[in-house]
Structure 1
Amino acid sequence: MTAPSFAGRYRIEQIIGVGGFATVHLAHDDELRSPVAVKILADNWARQSDVRERFLQEARLLRRADSHWLVQVFDIGELDDGRPYFVMTYADRGTLHERLSGGALAVEEALRVIGEIAQGVAVLHGIGVVHRDLKPSNVLFRSRAHGGERVMVADLGIARSTDHLTGLTLPAGSPGYMAPEQLHFDGAPDARADVHGLGALTYHMLTGQVPGRPEERVPPSALRPGVPPEVDEAVMRALDPDRDHRWPDAGAYLAALPSSGATPPPTPVPLAPASEDDGHGQGAEPETGGSPNRRRMVLGGGAAVAALAVAAAVAVSVSGQEGPGTAGGPAPATPTATRGEAVGDPTGRWLRLDSDIPKEYRSLIVQAGTYCAQPGLSPPLIAAMLKAESGFDPALTDHRADEYGIARWTPGVLWHWQPGGLQSPKPSPPLGPELSILSMGRFMCGLGPKIKDIPGDPALNLAGLFRSGVDPMHRDNGVPERWREYLGKVAKYMDDYRPR
């Protein structure tokens, strides 16, 4: 589905963010002469009533919260083809994730930023909502008219009302930032889960690293001399695996931080209970044993069946996945609701600008190619594989092989690797480019570590893995012979697509 020229009165200019369920566009309000961000539900999900409702619920929640510490929603509507959209604040200064790509922040700056983030989360806690997905790509910056900037918390795609946290909940959140209880089906995460997320964000800003496993974790000052002892204490308590030992909510954590220059906001009137919501998680990943081809891999065991049985509704996260995923390592560059650059093509940092890569797919390719720190994974690799798989044809259909779309996915396999995994509805053709391309990054990060000891070029090994699966790679101690011609194409295209 191509991008529309208009969403209501808002003139669409360029895509600035893509997730598994929605795209975000920089648009212009010609009446008010100002830029805005427009989030549009993907076509393949627009007819799923539960996904559609979750998408609209995010807009309603942001509008009711109506805080400058949160992304604000100004309008909502529906395109001519039936896809819903909503109009939000445009963050012209990007995301916290982008800033952290240059390393840790100054201590004073980190405390200032976390102070404003915590105020936004405290607003949510005050109206009875748990965000559940605090991470650097969900923290945005917008310039102020008279100088300076404001920090905004974004993406409530998997947020939940505390009225709905006493029953069954599905795993949800981003590895590296989410609390341990969010890994469990009945974890019922409350405000203390967000406190863990705030602690992880603070840790990352101060040290340049995502917190490690609890048993290996050291205070921020051990990695960053000069961090005050009271900050160490506040952060480590926020990250305690036992939620009963954490700060009770965002306001309490904010009050424990020195020199943040911020105080908790007043408590608003609680929201009415949210509509039906079961949460949204990363989903189980497929087993790889005995697979002659990655498109024929099936999920082993009964856990996935159980997960599907308990999923009464599907929650949707439209920011894309971030963090170490299933592979570990630092987080990728994943655009969110209002990320983007209005001037020039920022993908030129990763991809040659004068290549034949279609402009509309460049941002998606960068996201997939920077999904995690897997050796060999890069935007040129993803672009080269797409070229070799389909020639960038989003309408590719191979009924005999049951493969569809720009990345030639089989729907049953894509189900495992799409954002949300098995907790999201099983995809069916046509398989859109957004879903197909982003899921390649998840696949590489999920299965790449399983072939880390295979000799050869790491990038070409990943391409071979995408074609063959894990077991054939180990059996042949490399990419099976039948895929060597394919690898030759990928190698050539990678060289074509690398920036000069």
Structure 2
Amino acid sequence: MTDLTTPTLPEGFRVDGWELAGVIGSGGWGTVYEARAVADGTPAAVKVLPTGALAPGQRAALGELVDREVRFSAEADHPHLVRTRAVCTVDAPDVPALDGAIALVMDRAEESLCEVLNAGRAVPDPLRVLRGVVEGLAHMHGAGWVHGDLKPANVLLGTDGEVWLADFGLATELDGTHAHMPPLGTLDHLPPEWWSQRTGADGAVVRPTADIWAFGVLAHQVLTGGLHPFPGATARARSLAAQSYARGTTPLRLDAGLDENWRRIVADCLAPDHETRLQHTAASLRSRIAGLSGRRVRRGPWPVAALAALAAVTAVAGFTLLGGGGNDKNDRKDDGGRTTPAVVTGARQPAAGSIPEDSDVPVALRPVIADAAKRCTDPEVTPALLAAMLKAESGFDIHASRPASEEYGIAMWTPAVFRAWAVDGDGDGDKDYLSPPDAISTMSLYTCWLDQQFKKAQLPVADLPALIAAGWRTSDRTVIEERGVPARAQPYVDKVLRNLADYQKGVSTP
């Protein structure tokens, strides 16, 4: 989205032999425009980088980034690397803020991988995209360069199936086994060792293994519809989760739907330290990926017929939703009373944490809940706990709603909160809080993160199910500050614990 406080050049404006059209996007350094060559109409993208308002140090840093990008583009020649065709100076006396700006003319893409993921669309031919990325990366590494900022925003997709690595402002040439680059980059795509090293006069040390880590993150996102392999609502939170994993305090939790071959590749890329990642080069990854199928082993889209059947079941059972409560990102829910479903008795004793066969959990939902729980390896987040929370939230009513507090669907998500954690639970490319697979899978991810937060805060392990329920209804911060279940969340927590006890006994009671 364009920053409206930054002046833009009008459509039809010419930068040397290139005529600008609309704005494609903007970032911290400048704005990218769609453009065409005046001579023959060749499409291009022009990145305009203002310099007038920069302090001397910032201007020098920008100049260094531009020089690095231009130098790399001049030396690199590969079908999966975006070319910088020209470097121009903007002559715009009528727009003083942009007069004298640097303009980079580059290949024009249809969209970035980031745009596809953010729109909730399935990545077209994910195997082709990942092959293109790793082939471009292998070429860079073979030529003695490190990208330094591999992420979905820097993978561009063309109209004819092209896949390009882009944005070489942080690309740097190796001097032996490593290089130095400015202490920049995308927080949740940087390897764990980045945070423990010192930044010297030459910058931060970077190695090809940093790109391997970033490729592992990116591959997981491509194959799961945008799901980052480390939990967190912000890039900073995800980077902290990655560091916790690297220290050995939390395990690596990859999406349960990943094909086993891809699971091994992503896990190898996300080895917790540089030394272990050394054996997994871009060239070796290219060879491994070349023989893979593009299909993922994932549960298919939630069938319309199943939704209709589930709606009928909940209607017959007489599930209703009552009550209300406040809601924001740091104070997620307040307890509301609601009637409970009819009793189903005679259940068998289930395996630990599983859902009893004769419980009141709708049959159509049981595999969905079980699959969602697999997203978390922490023992407290079980199918039984998720079912207990869903029963307390909505009585398993997929049409439940609490408009006053903007909570909807089977897990009673607030749309804004859901978007920060959203998981594509049914593999259809969408992330919809009203879709039971998406809502429940996202609930599993969020409760898993709560579990980890409470363990880090050294809260009593025996109380974790109650604390998770309280954190879901309020926030991790509230629970940690009060060192236990907040009083206002206690009625809700009691309800969850009763449901959980019923499922653990194999009996559902009213």
Q: TM-score range by the shorter chain?
A: 0.3 to 0.5
Normalised by the length of structure 2, the TM-score is: 0.47
Larger radius of gyration: 2
Taking structure 1 as the reference length, the TM-score comes to: 0.48
